[in-house]
Amino acid sequence: MSGRKEAYKGLPGVDRLLASSELQPLLSRFGKELVTFAIRQTLDHFRLEINKTHQSPDLGSIIKKVANLVQAFGTRNLKKVYNASGVILHTNLGRAPFSYEMLMESFDALQGYNNLEFDLKTATRGSRNSHASSILKFLTGAEDILIVNNAAAAVMMVLRTFAKNREVIVSRGELIEIGGSFRIPDIMAASDCIMVEVGTTNKTRLSDYEKNITAQTALLFKAHKSNYVIKGFTEEVSAEDLARLGKKHNLPVLYDLGSGLLRKVDHPSLEGEPDVKQALASGADLVCFSGDKLLGGPQAGIIAGKKELIEKLRKEPMLRALRVCKTTLALLETACTYYLDEEELKSKNLIFKAFHREKAEIHTAAETLQSFLTRHGIDSEIAPSTGQCGGGSLPDSGIESYAVVIRFGKSNKESSAYAEKMYIQLLAQEKPVLGILRKGKILFDMLTVDPLEIEMIGQMIAEANRKVCGTVIQ
């Protein structure tokens, strides 16, 4: 006990640390309030350490930890990550990547003031719901459009508005879960709906829906299986058939399309993917989809469909809690304009740019990175790879690609130890790089690497390699 007490006494006071010459630059830059906060956090940390070790830290260790804490507050936590995973729509990396052109074309509307809720024609208060809706109506064929902050919110709002305390019929084969624990049963419950499951996991017929329609039924629900595939002995009800059933019984049909492909795009990976325009043409009354998946824009939940139904949604008090900001609307509108020109879509929408990259171009990118690594003494090879769309989209469609694989050590054990340390070290770099850790190797899929990024990625790999090689036995 006495050792612990003596160690506590060895901790300097807050005032002494504030007066130390080492912390004066931080005080000048960040101010007394933040530095004092960091000092107190540091002292609390070392008090806990003293409980374990009964030893007081030296002054240098305390100063260093205070400085690190202050610098951490002054450093942005959200930062650019170089994506060499081969997953185009990476949910953990912000989903749809934005091109430089898309950001610059949105910048003019965002710098300073804009007409977010001001009608320039009448000089009166306007509605933010008017922005991006005209072009989305044109692209999808919808009578009207409503935009909220994400696709889960869009589904939830529709369910609460049209089916609160009433029954919603859904196929068991479409009780999907998307990342972040978005589950249809949970959304139904949170929307105060009574979920009625029909059919089986692999087979649901139109008769399964019809025989479960009662006086309490408020809505028929269809969900696109955007992140999984059921094959073999299967059957599902088409959107057209469900829409006809809805009209027969005067029930609205909601189609949760999820992935958000606006219209047909000429690419093999997208051949079987339903698009919003097709879904509405099939007769669905309302279609919900994401803005940050195949559409290629910012996070948003878009509800497209019948004007009278959208009008009812607009009057819901919940809309204010789910509304989107000016940044979302500016980026969404810019992303939508690219669908007016096929060439712009392929060059300025980075999802479709990746889809349309030639294998030869990807191989050339791999050769460029390999050459850079060779100049820095890092042995590597180029291997065929398979990229993915990702982001809960196109689960059964791979994209042919090439990856650069680092070769290290003579044994599998050495190679595996190196790969794991490299993977972690690359994420800790000033400019993080996300590679692939697979079967004891680290590789970099070039499908998701822009040619302009190759040199920077190479520098980060070389720097990480220098740090790792000091800890891995060669």
What are the tens digits of pLDDT across the range 405-464? 999 877 778 889 999 999 999 999 989 999 999 988 999 999 999 999 999 999 999 999
Q: Mean pLDDT, to the nearest integer, of 280-299?
A: 95
Mean residue pLDDT of the chain comes to 91
Q: Where are the domains of the chain?
A: 2-74, 82-90+353-469, 100-348
CATH 3.90.1150.180 fits 82-90+353-469, yes or no: yes
Predicted pLDDT at 71? 87
Average pLDDT of the segment spanning 101-130:
93
Summarize pLDDT for 163-210 with one digit per residue, the tens: 999 999 999 988 887 665 678 888 898 899 999 999 988 889 999 999
Quick: pLDDT tens for 207-227. 999 999 999 999 999 998 766
| Nearby residues of 307 by Cβ (< 8 Å), 6 or more positions away | 143, 144
What's the pLDDT score for residue 471? 58
Instruction: Give me the phi and psi of 291, to 5 degrees please.
Output: -90, -20
**Pair of tokens at residue 234:** 């299967």
Most confident residue range from 47-56, 217-226, 387-396, 454-463: 454-463
Q: Per-residue confidence at 474, pLDDT binned at 50, 70, 90?
A: very low
% pLDDT > 70, the chain:
95
Over residues 297-320, mean pLDDT: 95
Beta-bridge partner residues of 365: none
Residue 384 Ramachandran class (φ > 0 left, ψ -120 to 50 alpha, else beta): beta
Both tokens of residue 319?
């809309």
Which DSSP string corresponds to 267-287? -GGGTT---HHHHHHTT-SEE
Do residues 142 and 150 touch, judged by C-beta distance below 8 A? Answer: no
pLDDT at 389: 86
In Å, the largest CA–CA distance within the chain is 84
pTM of the predicted model as reported, rounded to 2 decimal places: 0.87
- How does residue 1 score in pLDDT terms, banded at 50, 70 and 90? very low
Distance CA 293, CA 299 (A): 8
What average pLDDT score do residues 70-98 get? 91
> CB neighbours of 256 closer than 8 A, spacing ≥ 6?
151, 155, 184, 221, 222, 223, 224, 287, 288, 289
Residue range 106-120, pLDDT digits in tens: 999 999 999 999 999
The CA distance from 145 to 287, in Å, is 10
Give pLDDT, residue 175: 86
| Averaged pLDDT, 243-252 | 96
Kindly indicate whether the domain formed by 100-348 is annotated with CATH number 3.40.50.10190.
Answer: no
